[in-house]
Amino acid sequence: MGVDPGLNKTGWGVIRNLNSCDEYISHGVIVTKKKDNLGQRLNKIYEDLLKVVKKFSPENIAIEKIFSNTNPDTTIKLGKARGIIFLVAARSEVDIFEYAPNTIKKNLVGYGHANKNQMVKMLSRIFPDIKVESDDAADALAVAICHSMQKNSKISLSLK
């Protein structure tokens, strides 16, 4: 399961890896109301993400590593949303993995500085039968695919 954390929108995507082939399961976005206070918004992310984890029982949760925004307040809010994802993973006894944005892009597109459009196009090639209308869900699926690729790479290396 990949998660793209955000206070306004938290994207999630679930895939299954079968014999080094990723199979799409589901995706979605958790949207919070800007008028709600911070505690209510974080609680919504917690409750909704916990439901998703209980429904799909992922083996792992993958998340993008934090980066600093020009606005420190935005970075702090993102950090709080990420903390909720770590809490959900811990409470659900699911291992969590972090990947740098460039690693995610390089695994998905083959280029570490790919733009959103290139990533969405690659997702549509990997999963041609689905329509991902949210950038947040697309990012979450990209994180899930990156983790799948990294996990398979490490398994194959350890077998040699």
Choosing from 23, 98, 136, 139, which is the catalytic residue? 136
Write down the domain spans for the chain: 2-159
Phi and psi at 67, nearest 5°, equal -130, 155
Distance CA 143, CA 52 (A): 16
- State yes or no: is 136 an active-site residue: yes
Choosing from 47, 64, 73, 133, which is the catalytic residue? 64
CA dist list (Å): 111 to 53, 93, 153:
30, 33, 18
* Each residue's pLDDT tens digit, 72-129: 888 898 999 999 999 999 999 999 999 999 999 999 999 889 998 999 999 999 999 9
pTM: 0.91
- State yes or no: is 64 an active-site residue: yes
- State yes or no: is 36 an active-site residue: no
* Each residue's pLDDT tens digit, 9-51: 999 999 999 887 899 999 999 999 999 999 999 999 999 999 9
Tokens 């990420």 map to which residue? 82
Class of domain 2-159: alpha beta
